A and B are shown apart, each in its own frame.
Chain A
Amino acid sequence: MRGKDLDIVVCGAQKPFVRGGAEQHQENLVQALVAAGHAADLVRLPVAWEKGRLFDSPLAWRMLPLDADLVIATNFPSYFVRHPNKIVWLLHQHRGAYDGFAGGASWSDFALDDVSLEEQRLVTEWDVVALGEARHIFSNSGVVSERLARFNGLPSTPLAHPPPLYDRLHPGPSGDYVLSVQRQEANKRPHLLVEAMKDTPSPITAVMAGRGELLDDLRALTARLRLTDRVLLPGFVPDDELVRLYAGALAVVYVPEDEDYGYATLQAFYAGKPVICAADSGGVLDWVEDGVTGLVTDGTPGGVAAAVRRLADDRKLAQRLGEAGHQRVQSLSWDAVVERLTEQRPAL
């Protein structure tokens, strides 16, 4: 330790070749810690989510020799790391074993059989032990804290942070398109917006930025629905272009199923745009209040289409909601996050 500044290791798990919000979050945390005068480094190990292999990576984390003043673990299974000064800032647990299983999600391979239930029970017990070792557990949203309380009986403190590009995003005149920025994966439900566009009048179009395993399927769906001129699926979009797209959008559509946090919501607010989400969008609802900072739909294509039409027909409403969202994110700062994560806590 060098005076006030700490040697900090940020721990994160990553599925190789996949990059999303969690990876950006970990990298931005390291940057913020360094900016605050600490020495910070990021340690990542691969993770496998499938039953049968899911305990391998926790065990690997258990064996890592990490010499540092403080470790900050972020996601499953990085919080299995052992360190006398461990803080957890939880982005998510093994969702397939918990809320995905509870909700019968297609992306969870847990089922009602003895093998699944013993693995679910064991991951619960391991999580209780590993998370219970932390000096404090923060979460990135209210919904993550609720899951931790429901599934593991553990208390935690939600701690929000600015999204990537927060310092570059800015409001701009609303155009005739709605924007979606996300990985094109099943739990993000990108097909809802594509199907909603059938019932959305011209000249409104949709720009759906982001790659993912469903991108080709979405392009095929768009062609089948004869919407190729009204739904643009550019795949990866560079940051400069993303900032421009946010500034010119009528609204941002973000309708994931039970999202942990969701950068798109906060990025929309930094750009002064309202967000259209669904009533089951999880952590998004920490930020989107129906009729105040966006519109909360029933999560059907019809509901999304109605919300888009409403904002297209009432531009003043869109502007008012976007400005309210912009106000809501003004209190977020990385300095405050770093201060909370690194504050001295009594030994256990």
Chain B
Amino acid sequence: MTEAEEQTEQVAQLVLRISLLERQVLQAKDQIIGDYAHIAELSHRLTITQVNNEKLREEIKRVHSSTAWRLGRLILSPVRLLKLFNKI
């Protein structure tokens, strides 16, 4: 192989290497943006879950403070006492 051919070969290798590196840069950028998007998505889902939890807590509170629940609790109090007695 002549010197000129060697240099041509080296240039071709370099071009190929640059091309590969450029693709890796593209992939890395996509990965970073994708990860940020994924974090934003998770954080969004967390917020929704928290809001839903809060709503459910409010609902439970409302049920516990309702007359029907209190009445039911009163009616079932002997059963509760029996259960407690059985445990002991």
Query: A and B, one complex?
Result: no
Which B positions have Cβ atoms within 8 angstroms of A?
none
Which A positions have Cβ atoms within 8 angstroms of B?
none
